[in-house]
Structure 1
Amino acid sequence: MHRAVLENGGPVLRFDAPVQGDGGRATMPVVVNLFGTAERVAAGLGVTPEGIDDLGAFLAALRSPSPPDGLRDALSRWPMLKAALATRPKVLRRAPVQEVVAEGAEVDLGTLPVQTHWPGDAGPLITWPVVLTRPHGTAAGDAGRYNAGVYRAQVIGRDRVILRWLPHRGGAAHSRSWMQAGEAMPVAVVLGADPATLLSAALPLPETISELTFAGALAGAQPRLVPARTVPILVPAGAEIVIEGWVAPGETAPEGPFGDHTGYFNAAEPFPVMQVSAITHRRDPVYLSTYTGRPPDEPAIIGEVFNRLALPTIRAQVPEIRDVWLPPAACSYRMAVVSIDKRYPGQARRVMMALWGMLPQFSYTKLVVVVDTDIDLRSWDDIAWALATRMDPGRDLMLLEKTPMDYLDFASPEPGLAGKLGIDATTKIGAETTRDWGTVMRTDPADAAFAEALLGRIMPGSGQ
């Protein structure tokens, strides 16, 4: 039902009494499709769809400050956001998320309506968890050092959860610091976080910016946190549910298989186990869920918005790039089409290498197609024409081997390592060719205007 509504740009859905596997009814409502449209993703970021580009410019200024005039311009558009980023979270003594508390023997993850999404899934999977961790040696009150990440969380018992974080993610880095000290790591899994917090946890923010602080900035309010009941972690006071617990050094369990965003089931692999010490929630909580699968799904829609947010950061580092499109059907980041303002031979290859090394997510982009600015890079017809008329396989392919790749991509010959292909589909200039290049045919503008006017007279319903 969720997928059918999402594919039609439909509303957020709330299931008040979803049927459980045993035929009974869950007492906790389930909400899905929160980020089912780009407009709702933008609203979660605190902007209109038209404001996404300005927010992207601000993120670029945070990541790599531009010269003073440019930085002042970016900050002038977001004075409240700048102030909010400098504001420390407000720590409360009591909070709605702790109206009901279950500790110790009372803990039972079965009270949550966690879905088993696909036939063949290993079990119930929490799909929108904001996992909060901090590095060893930091104080619980130093929320600015926290990492907030969205990781898969598999329920394997009444009080046990597998947390799937890959080695390059912030949660894994924090886990290593606690393991090196030989101590269990405190963890809080936040369910039903406000949209700004959830999206901030997924954003590629600079390492110096706290996701929790940035979420408060997006929401235009000071972040409101409360100490967790059984672990030294601060948690969002307004969340629906929080799962508290500890990850002991070396304790792992096989996670998966699960249907993933690639449209395939991934293989089972060992990941850390969290021993749950408490579950807290509002008096009448709702459970926020989603599914992951072959696009379209909510992560793919979020990815389209994040594509626009990332463009100013990309252009700040590679100015000749005019636009970047990550086709949702290609699992978002697996393929990129880039348009450039081409000025010299070899420029397309330089752009490919710059893109692969720029942001962590582009290290998983295994195909980059570079085109000229006259190509509509969101049109497969235009891309096919550029490939067919401006690319020669013997000259315009750049192939790399044994580069980093998502473990979920089993097309790669080795887990975590794969090749990359760059295709130069730009017009060839200078030393790139020894032949005269063809001239693109274009209709005379006066003839086009005449045809439009005439078409409007003979076909009134044509929209002209």
Structure 2
Amino acid sequence: MRDLPPYPSLRGFLDWCTETGQLQPVADPVPVRHRMTAVHGAVLERGGPVLRFDRPVREDGGMAGMPVVTNLFGTASRVAAGLGVREDRLEDLGAFLAALRSPAPPEGLKDALSRWPMLKAALTTRPKICGSAPVQQVVRSDKDVDLSDIPVQTHWPGDAGPLITWPVVLTRPHGSKAEEAGRYNAGVYRVQVLDKSRVIMRWLPHRGGAAHHRSWGRAGEPTPVAIVLGADPALLLSAALPLPETVSELTFSGAFSGCRPRLVPAATVPLLVPANAEIVLEGWVSPDETAPEGPFGDHTGYYNQAEPFPVVRITAITHRQDPLYLSTYTGRPPDEPAIIGGVFNRLALPTIRAQIPEVRDLWLPPAACSYRMAVVSIDKRYPGQARRVMMALWGMLPQFSYTKMIVVVDEDIDPSNWDDIAWALATRMDPGRDIMLLENTPMDYLDFASPQPGLAGKIGFDATTKIGSETRRDWGEVMRTDPGDAAFAADLLGRVLPELAS
């Protein structure tokens, strides 16, 4: 499926960004406190390049010893490139991933041979264990551990302190073996720096890392953890994807990268870590020690409240000889998570269609936090079908459990066009008939509009044309320009007003 060469490391991807004119070094000193985020946000909003801050200024005013890379996935095209494809082939990649999830039995030898890409993808998920690795060129353990050497940003004026925002956190369940990489969970969680050797791990109860932490806690033991900073793009994006719980993001990343994951035993904890990463923080998550995490600015555009989360004691920092620190920020969209979410939406569409065949297109507006609102167009064939689609999205697909508003439209409506959505709501939806309300359903506890944390209502709008028993009135006919008339107008404009035709 790859259009682009493999990127076995963050550096390989940055080399491609440089070759394609998408990396901009910043030679001026830039403070990691607030101002680096301000620069990053301004560049992201303009669809700008990856930034490499070569002279980051630490919180204490000193110059940091390593560059900071931001805006890695600040455009949809770079997210697609991180997955190995051009942006116009995302739908093809989505279909490929849907086939990997639910492969059909081959129909004869020719069909079996045509599935070589799927077999190749499966083979690339097998990790390769290395004896040495670039990420362990420098190993600092015990008293030599000092997180202040890493230029971690404080992003917003109301933030509690420095926050690591692009970590890939590796854990495994209690009772598993370190070499069983297929049982690992890789998640992107918020990590607050407390002091030179302690951080707070903010993983929510439903996330894989938290489940592993509970399994170690039941045995009364701390959880081994590896916090990977500056992973290869395939692992970064795999860790953010809503993959099935039985799939390890660490091994699945090979299907995106086009090469087998290269892993090496960690220096001080019983885990395998990516050999080509920039930095790895090794440590143990306490089964009972917590500390108040936050407040921090979040993707909702608000600061979340401080809450207790587990404390991690760092036992080693390993890194390349000349490491890069990868960072980002979260805030009211646009931000990198919103851009990544838009791409993931396109990847997920074939899988959604496999379960709900009448779905034609779907849009998760970035301005609605990329998941709290969905607009879906369907091929409508019978009364009540829009409501069935709403319930299917909420009930069949876990990634929609926090989507509190769904608007269903006909396939003649562009679900990503606000004017089309407004027209459909205004002309095809009656508030007394076409609204479905649910109460006390699961919700992201960061939704301050919810009556109580973790529980909220959901609303569905049926903005489709009403057919059959849905209405007693004759439905209006949509006005459309005749194709011949449209062609005549385009030809005339091309000759008389070429600047408008173009």
Q: Structure 1 length as normaliser, TM-score?
A: 0.97
Instruction: Tell me what 2:240 maps to.
Output: 202
Instruction: Tell me what 1:27 maps to.
Output: 65
Amino acid at match of 1:156: L
Instruction: Tell me what 1:83 maps to.
Output: 123
**Would the alpha carbon gap of residues 363 and 69 (structure 1) be closer, same or farther in structure 2, given more than 3 Å must change?**
farther
Name the SS for the 2:154 alignment partner: coil
Instruction: Tell me what 1:48 maps to.
Output: 86
Q: Deviations over 1:50-94 (max 9, x none)?
A: 221122112212333346469969945544313323xx3111121
* Equivalent residues of 1:117, 1:125 under 8 A apart: yes
Amino acid at match of 1:153: V
Verify: 1:462 aligned to 2:500, yes or no.
yes
Distance 1:334 1:178 in 2: 33
* Equivalent residues of 2:294, 2:306 under 8 A apart: yes
**Superposition pairs of residues 283-362 of structure 1, within 5 angstroms:** 283-362=321-400
Name the SS for the 2:49 alignment partner: coil
RMSD: 1.6
Alignment match of 1:363 (pick from 376, 381, 401)? 401
Verify: 1:259 aligned to 2:297, yes or no.
yes
Verify: 1:273 aligned to 2:311, yes or no.
yes
Amino acid at match of 1:375: I
Instruction: Tell me what 1:416 maps to.
Output: 454
Q: Deviations over 1:179-221 (max 9, x none)?
A: 1111111000000001111101111222332212121232111
* Equivalent residues of 2:100, 2:118 under 8 A apart: no
Amino acid at match of 1:356: W
Distance 2:304 2:452 in 1: 14
**Would the alpha carbon gap of residues 352 and 69 (structure 1) be closer, same or farther in structure 2, given more than 3 Å must change?**
farther
* Equivalent residues of 1:35, 1:302 under 8 A apart: yes
Distance 2:330 2:107 in 1: 43
* Equivalent residues of 2:490, 2:501 under 8 A apart: no
**Would the alpha carbon gap of residues 422 and 248 (structure 1) be closer, same or farther in structure 2, given more than 3 Å must change?**
same
Distance 1:270 1:225 in 2: 32
Alignment match of 2:474 (pick from 423, 428, 436)? 436
* Equivalent residues of 2:124, 2:261 under 8 A apart: no
In percent, how many aligned pairs have the same letter?
Answer: 76
Instruction: Tell me what 2:3 maps to.
Output: none
Instruction: Tell me what 2:209 maps to.
Output: 171
Amino acid at match of 1:84: T
Count of residue correspondences: 462
Distance 2:246 2:424 in 1: 41
* Equivalent residues of 1:240, 1:287 under 8 A apart: yes
Name the SS for the 1:41 alignment partner: helix
* Equivalent residues of 1:162, 1:272 under 8 A apart: yes
Q: Which runs of 5+ in 1 are unaligned?
A: none
**Superposition pairs of residues 100-111 of structure 1, within 5 angstroms:** 100-111=138-149
**Would the alpha carbon gap of residues 132 and 293 (structure 1) be closer, same or farther in structure 2, given more than 3 Å must change?**
same
Distance 2:53 2:42 in 1: 15
**Would the alpha carbon gap of residues 74 and 376 (structure 1) be closer, same or farther in structure 2, given more than 3 Å must change?**
farther
Q: CA deviation at 1:260?
A: 0.5
Distance 1:301 1:14 in 2: 20
**Would the alpha carbon gap of residues 73 and 291 (structure 1) be closer, same or farther in structure 2, given more than 3 Å must change?**
farther
* Equivalent residues of 2:79, 2:343 under 8 A apart: yes
Greater CA deviation, 145-154 or 406-415? Answer: 406-415
Amino acid at match of 2:487: A
Alignment match of 2:164 (pick from 104, 113, 126)? 126
Q: Deviations over 1:259-293 (max 9, x none)?
A: 00111101111111111111111110010000111
Name the SS for the 1:200 alignment partner: helix
Q: CA deviation at 1:20?
A: 2.0
Q: CA deviation at 1:120?
A: 0.5
Instruction: Tell me what 2:283 maps to.
Output: 245
Instruction: Tell me what 1:404 maps to.
Output: 442
Greater CA deviation, 334-343 or 62-71? Answer: 62-71
Distance 2:117 2:173 in 1: 34
Name the SS for the 2:419 alignment partner: helix
Name the SS for the 1:148 alignment partner: strand
**Would the alpha carbon gap of residues 292 and 69 (structure 1) be closer, same or farther in structure 2, given more than 3 Å must change?**
farther
Greater CA deviation, 33-42 or 453-462? Answer: 453-462
Q: CA deviation at 1:8?
A: 1.2
Name the SS for the 2:88 alignment partner: helix
Distance 1:170 1:268 in 2: 22
Distance 1:73 1:271 in 2: 50
Distance 1:444 1:277 in 2: 71
Distance 2:107 2:499 in 1: 49
Q: CA deviation at 1:348?
A: 0.3
Q: Which runs of 5+ in 2 are unaligned?
A: 1-38
Q: Structure 2 length as normaliser, TM-score?
A: 0.90
Q: Deviations over 1:235-281 (max 9, x none)?
A: 00000000011112121111111000111101111111111111111
Distance 1:17 1:168 in 2: 39
Distance 2:143 2:334 in 1: 41
Greater CA deviation, 117-126 or 39-48? Answer: 39-48
Instruction: Tell me what 1:382 maps to.
Output: 420
Amino acid at match of 2:96: F
Distance 1:196 1:79 in 2: 18
Q: CA deviation at 1:100?
A: 0.9
Alignment match of 1:235 (pick from 253, 273, 277)? 273
Q: Deviations over 1:348-389 (max 9, x none)?
A: 000001011233221010100000000011110000000000
Name the SS for the 1:357 alignment partner: helix
Distance 2:451 2:141 in 1: 45
